[in-house]
Structures are given as C-alpha cells and as structure tokens.
Amino acid sequence: MIEVQGLSKSFGKVQAVKGVSFSARDGQITGLLGPNGAGKSTTLRMLYTLLKPDDGSAQIDGFDVRQNPIEVQKRIGVLADARGLYPRLTSRENIRYYGRLHGMEGEALEKQISSLVTLLDMQSIADRKTEGFSTGEKLKVAIARTLVHNPQNVLLDEPTNGLDVMSTRAMRQFVLRLREEGKCVLFTSQVMQEVAALCDQIVIISQGSVSANGSPDDLRKQTGKENLEDAFVAAIGSEEGLMQ
C-alpha cells in the first residue's frame, strides 16, 4: 500500500514535481503515465527513498519515506531506471548480494534464489558472470534481485524500456502475476497502450503534477472522451507518448 500526499521536489530552479498525490492499493497495478520529463521517475525516486521530498509526504505500508527510510526499504522491491549489475559476479551472486543486504541468509536465501531462477527461466545464465549479458538477460537478473526479499510493494521504473517484443510480453505477464500474488505494483511508463492494457488505476502526470487519476473507465468519464487515447491527450494536453 502506497500513499502519497502533496509530494514536491525541485532541482535548483526547476520544479520537477509539484504536489503529487495518489494512492496505490495492494492487489492492484497502478500506472504512472506521462511524457518524458513529466516527473514520473523523480516521484518514484522519492518513494524509494533515494531523493528526499522538499514538501509533502509519502507512506509505504504506513511507514513514512522521510522518517523511516529503512523500514520503507525493507518493504519495497525496486527496478530503478539504473539497473546496473556487477559484471564480475555471476547472476546468482548478484542476487545473493541483495538478499544478504536484506538480512537473508543460508538455506532460505538459496531456496528463494533458486525459485526466482526457475520463475524467470534463467537457469542457463544463473551461474555465469553477467559480463556480456544481453539487455533481456540483464533485466532478468535485475528483476530477481528486486524480488529476492519478497517485497509487498514493487516499484518499476519504465520496466519495458529498451526490450524486444518477446521480453516486453514476458515483462507484462510478470507484472500481472505480481498482482495475482496480492502485491502492490506501481510502475511508470510513457506508453499509453501498455498502461491501458495492464493497469487497474492510472495516474497521469504532466509537468510535475497529476492531471488525471482513476480507473480507465473513470478517465473516460472525467475527460468526456469515449476513447482512452483521446482521454489521455485531453488529460496531458499533447499527443506525446501515443505513437509507440
């Protein structure tokens, strides 16, 4: 469960996020949709404690991101925009490192790693050093590392960016599976079709603030448009992000 109230963040004179509020419930997929530079990643970065909000607050499972960052970090799994791996470590070692940083160890950790390896179909690369992995292979390791501590809240920053068709499909299946497990999934995207296909709730962000928020049906009603694409354009006032 993620709750956000009036979150704001500036970098120098540029106000990247202006009073963003929304909530994302367990067992639902919430999409943050908006064009490039709208403030999606900055919002997400504040939620996963990397940046400190200038104003407003956010709670994850009731823990405040500013007051209690460590408790928040324990309850989130994050696939950040930066998803670099350690090239001299194997996939398994990369995942194990994060598991141990979450305080897991021994049998329980190894079992969890093995089940993730099976789930993500990465047996052939599990014990290879990650140097030279393809984008898709790297993503699998990064996802496994994100989920190794079985977090209740999963934050994904543009998870399908740069993936081929098959990997994108697999990624979407995976997000749906997380919803079935009752997780709270929050992801950002600039692709309207993707958000429309997956999300229970859509939060449209443009120029740092929320311009529309609700289920796909709500959005159609709010904007008075029959078509979700038109609704999106009406909400952000431009056609950016539609053509992909």
Partner 1 sequence: MKKIWVIIQKEVLDNLRDTRSWTTGVFWALFGPLILGGMIMLLGNTIREGTEALVLPVAGAEHAPNLIAFLEQQDVVIKPAPEDPQAAVIAGDINVALIIPVGYGENFSGGETASVQLVFDSTRQSAMMDISRAYDLLEGYGSYIGLLRLSLRGVSPEVLHVIQVEEVDTATPQSQALIFLSMLPYFIIFVIFNGASPVITDATAGERERGSLEPLLINPLPRGWVAIGKMISAMPFATFNLLITLVGFAAIFRFLPIEKLLGVQIGLDIGALTSVFLICLPIVILACAIQTLIASFSKTTKEAGTYLPFIGLIPSLPGLALAFLPVKSDLWTMLIPTFGQQILINQFLRTEPISGMNILISAVVTILLSVVITFIAIKLYEGERIIMG
Contact positions vs partner 1 (CB under 8 A): 48-52, 70-71, 73-74, 76, 78, 80-89, 93, 97-98, 100-103, 142, 145-146
d(CA 2, CA 115) in angstroms, rounded, equals 27
Residue whose CB is less far from partner 1, 85 or 235: 85
Residue whose CB is less far from partner 1, 9 or 179: 9
**CA distance readout (Å), 123 to 82, 112, 167, 176:** 24, 14, 16, 22
CA angle 174, 179, 182 (to 5 degrees): 135
Mapped onto helix, strand or coil, the DSSP state of residue 53 is coil
Residue (of 132, 190, 192, 141) closest to 161 by Cα position: 190
CB 3 → partner 1: shortest distance, Å? 19
d(CA 145, CA 94) in angstroms, rounded, equals 7
Residue whose CB is less far from partner 1, 87 or 182: 87
CB 139 → partner 1: shortest distance, Å? 13
CB 46 → partner 1: shortest distance, Å? 11
Element (H, E) at 196: helix 192-198
CB count within 10 Å of CB 138 equals 19
Residue whose CB is less far from partner 1, 89 or 163: 89
CB 155 → partner 1: shortest distance, Å? 9
Residue whose CB is less far from partner 1, 55 or 86: 86
CB 59 → partner 1: shortest distance, Å? 16
